Amino acid sequence: MSRFSKDTKQKIIDDYLNKTGRNLYVPEEFVAWLKPQPDHEAYDLFHGMDDEEAANNYRIDLARRFASGLRITVKTEIIESEVRAIKVTEYPAFISPRSTRREGGGYVPFNPDDEISQSELRKQAGIALASWLNRYRGCAENIGLDMDTIEEIIKVLRDDKEEAA
């Protein structure tokens, strides 16, 4: 799906809605509409594989979602002079390193004591927060919220100097 830019996907869906006279995008209807159109640019994405391959890809996606959201809890004892406290932090149980995704990747156990794991998770957090900001900036600014702090957090998490979102 990544071969289509956001603008291209918007154009394809707008074209579908215009050609069908619909004002509601129903994914099941869109897929059915595409089926008799092998020359359509989006045809191969939805119909360019046999049912066995599509089913296997669906199962792989299910397996990804199956592991997604699992958490681990880390308890750290904090000692400052005579005062002791326990800090509880949650992390994902597994992460999918971005560097190996193009080769099929996979999920690795998250190690909270490993700086590489922490760095990868921070970058993924920055990317996810930037995505959130891109989607919801308008409604937040509409009620007067300032998004500058979130943009700074994104920069720090992603450890980059580029524009945050």
Number of structural domains the chain divides into: 2
Domain of 154, in residue numbers: 114-165
77 within some domain: no
Give the residue among 15, 12, 14, 16 at the shortest CA–CA distance from 41. 12
67 within some domain: no
Q: Which two tokens stand for residue 162?
A: 């580029």
- How much is the pLDDT for 88? 85
137 within some domain: yes
Please write the tens of the pLDDT for every residue from 143-160. Answer: 999 999 999 999 999 987
Of residues 130 and 103, more confidence is placed in: 130
Residues paired with residue 83 on neighbouring β-strands, in sequence order: 80
The pLDDT of 115-139, averaged and rounded, is 94
89 within some domain: no
70 within some domain: no
69 within some domain: no
| N-terminal to C-terminal alpha carbon distance within the chain | 22
- How much is the pLDDT for 161? 59
Name the H helices within 21-114: 27-34, 43-47, 51-67
106 within some domain: no
pTM over 0.75: no
pLDDT class of 164 with cuts at 50, 70, 90: very low
Residue 40 has a CB neighbour count (10 Å cut-off) of 17
Please write the tens of the pLDDT for every residue from 10-65. Answer: 999 999 999 999 888 888 899 999 999 999 999 999 999 999 999 998 898 888 88
